[in-house]
Chains A and B, each alone.
Chain A
Amino acid sequence: MRGQAITLDGVEVTYPNGFTAVHQTDLKVEAGEFFSILGPSGCGKTTILRAVSGFVEPSRGRILIGDEDQAHKGPNIRPTALIFQNLALFPLMSVWENVAFGLEARGVSKRKRKARAEELLDLVALGDQADKKPTELSGGQRQRVAIARALAVDPAVLLLDEPLSALDLKLRQHMRAELRSIQRKTGVTFIYITHDQGEALTMSDRIAVMNEGRIEQVGTGDEVYSAPKTAFAASFVGEANAFAGRVTAVENDMACIETPEGKFLGRNSASMKVGDAAVLFVRPEAVGFGTAFGNRLSARLVRRDLEGSFVNLLMRSDAGAEVAVQMPNVGTTPGVEDDARPIGFACGSAIILPEGPLARTGREVAAE
């Protein structure tokens, strides 16, 4: 079966305890697309996944796969396959039995099952591990068994619930490429759930950014990163310096915002009007030293963190705001000193968005 489109039509999920995990949501995932849902934990992205796979019945709205309404269809009837965060490989079955389980449930003969399982294991480069138990495999191998098992039932949609989160960094990066290539080869629609923006940006055709049960923005990786539509999307996807204030002037597609740090100019993609409460966002890599910028301020260097190929600098402006600066590590970055120095950023690299909830910073998360 080729990949099919998924349509969420006004879907809302309220749990029996009264908590609404997903507010009225419309979403269209195209057939054969690699689609990611990106959001912090507890934002409702897993609930959407479970609603599509059939473990949760939406309290309102419809879910369509292809053109077919999935209401009252159990997970064993829907053309979806789910890859769980902990993979949920059956510990007592061998690798090939795991892969062939979906076929077994469909009454396929043992000979055919085994042949199909071996075919799929070859696809994920595990052809020689068929008779081992899942516990004897490495993390990456188990990952690939889970993918093969899900593909064995020839699903129209593959749903992935943060399956890479337990792997270490190098393996994770490798598996991203592998997942992407399997998706291209099979043409199955992938819906990938993650809280890791790096995963979402590298693999996906399109991304939905989610917060508190609502989808904030849907777009390609570039759109979401460079042209966020909400304060949350701007602050959650990638790092961003935020300056809150009020719009004082609007001209063409630019706006001027007055903040405690001074007046800044930025793109007005959200069509803000004079007097609106607004936040200006600018990426750390867009901030630089010197005076050759449309927006300027003066700040002292507080901390310098070496990341390897680049350096993170934490600055404190004269008005007291923290400003993150990121620059390539070419041996010329400044050391910590007391003197204030001019920094700034180009007007075109800044974006002015309506005031709204921001993604929590690391410090806020740690304080919980």
Chain B
Amino acid sequence: MTSSRILSVYTWAFLAFMFAPLILMMLSSVNNASPPSVTNWGGLTSKWYAFFWMPEDDLRADPTLRLLDRDRFVSCFGNSLTISVVVVPLSLLLGLAGAVLLTRWRSRANGLLWWVLLSPMLAPGVILGLSALVFWGRLGVNAGLFTIMMAQVTFIAGYPLLILMARLQRQPVELEEAALDLGASPFRVFRRITLPFLLPALGSAAVIALLASMENYNTTMFAKGGACTFATEIGAMGRNPNGHPPVINAVGTVIIVLTVVAAVAHSVFSRREAG
């Protein structure tokens, strides 16, 4: 009884440790003080959010906001979207191909393939970015969005790989064999049996790949050259020795709220489906 009480208290303490910084972040995003603070209360404000749409003149009037380059921030975010438009489908394709070969290809090369395809997930992210930069540089491609895409795909494809592989291993081979036996061509078997079975897994893999691509900092920093993305721009804003602008906290708050809503909605829906 007591040991389970200790475990409960410990769990709540852990959750508090996980959530406290996030809550502080949200609080300081509505505090009119820069750098962001919760102790130095400057009054309630929404200007850190309004930064993204306030008129240019108001922007110039604010001592903190006028130092920031809004257009650059928006264009970096656009870069992130461009990158993910390439990275997500490409990762799904590579992950699917890898998952099929790893689960269905009986060969001696299988063990080697495991090591090769999973190695990017075992390597520090910075190395993937740097090696993409060096490799494509040798082929005459300058660092930029393309090298970022290649570097990200290298390891992001690993997420669909693992997710789809888990799903494929749960699908009995007999299903594909049965369809084949009933006269379907291999392509039809794949389209009618395998792909529909993988569809939910492909969906969640796409979401995870998108998040991974958007938030990636370590790999992107090394491969970006002169380009910028959402994550590197956020990172660059924090390199201010006087503390970062609270605009970051506003962005963070939006992300936190979106995440909470998505997670709660997901678990409510999946409970309803199960129940």
Q: Which residue of A lies closest to B196 (CB)?
A: A92
A58-102: which residues lie under 8 A (CB-CB) from chain B? 74-77, 80-82, 84-86, 88, 90-92, 101-102
Taking a contact as CB atoms under 8 Å apart, the answer to whether B174 and A88 are in contact is yes
- A293 close to chain B: CB less than 8 A: no
Determine the main DSSP class of A at the interface with B.
loop
CB distance from B200 to the nearest CB of A (A): 10
- A297 close to chain B: CB less than 8 A: no
Q: Which residue of A lies closest to B176 (CB)?
A: A88
Complex Cα distance, B180 from A105, in Å, reads 9
Residue among A80, A88, A149, A153 making CB contact with B177, cutoff 8 Å: A88
- B21 close to chain A: CB less than 8 A: no
CB distance from B110 to the nearest CB of A (A): 13
Residue among B106, B175, B188, B197 making CB contact with A105, cutoff 8 Å: B188
- A53 close to chain B: CB less than 8 A: yes
- B185 close to chain A: CB less than 8 A: yes
Taking a contact as CB atoms under 8 Å apart, the answer to whether A88 and B180 are in contact is no
- One digit per residue, 1 when the CB lies within 8 angstroms of any chain A CB and 0 when it does not, for chain B 187-207 equals 010001100110000000000
Q: Which residues of A contact B193 (CB under 8 A)?
A: 90
- Also in contact, A105 and B174, with CB within 8 A (given A90-B179, A92-B197): no
Residue among B172, B174, B184 making CB contact with A76, cutoff 8 Å: B184
Chain A residues within 8 Å of chain B by Cβ, number: 27
Q: Interface residue tally of chain B, by bracket?
A: 10 to 19
- B123 close to chain A: CB less than 8 A: no
Q: Which residues of B contact A77 (CB under 8 A)?
A: 183
Taking a contact as CB atoms under 8 Å apart, the answer to whether B197 and A80 are in contact is no
Taking a contact as CB atoms under 8 Å apart, the answer to whether A90 and B183 are in contact is no
- B181 close to chain A: CB less than 8 A: yes
Q: Which residues of B contact A81 (CB under 8 A)?
A: 181-182
CB distance from B37 to the nearest CB of A (A): 54
Q: Which residue of B lies closest to A106 (CB)?
A: B183
- One digit per residue, 1 when the CB lies within 8 angstroms of any chain A CB and 0 when it does not, for chain B 154-192 equals 000000000000000000101101111111111010001
- Also in contact, A74 and B180, with CB within 8 A (given A86-B174, A88-B175): yes
Complex Cα distance, B178 from A358, in Å, reads 35
Taking a contact as CB atoms under 8 Å apart, the answer to whether B185 and A76 are in contact is yes
Residue among A84, A101, A149 making CB contact with B174, cutoff 8 Å: A84
B3-37: which residues lie under 8 A (CB-CB) from chain A? none
Q: Which residues of B contact A104 (CB under 8 A)?
A: 184, 192
Residue among A16, A76, A90 making CB contact with B181, cutoff 8 Å: A76
Residue among A84, A88, A102 making CB contact with B183, cutoff 8 Å: A102
Taking a contact as CB atoms under 8 Å apart, the answer to whether A75 and B196 are in contact is no
A-B contact pairs, 21 of them (CB 8 A): A55-B177, A76-B184, A81-B182, A82-B178, A84-B174, A84-B178, A88-B172, A88-B174, A88-B177, A90-B175, A90-B179, A90-B193, A92-B196, A101-B182, A101-B184, A102-B183, A105-B184, A105-B185, A106-B183, A150-B182, A153-B183
Interface pairs A-B: 7 shortest CB-CB: A102-B182, A105-B184, A88-B174, A88-B178, A105-B183, A84-B174, A82-B181
A-to-B contact residues, CB < 8 Å? 16, 53-55, 74-77, 80-82, 84-86, 88, 90-92, 101-102, 104-106, 149-150, 152-153
Known: A76-B181, A80-B181, A81-B181. 8 other contacts (CB 8 A): A55-B181, A75-B181, A76-B184, A81-B182, A84-B174, A84-B177, A90-B193, A105-B188
B-to-A contact residues, CB < 8 Å? 106, 172, 174-175, 177-186, 188, 192-193, 196-197
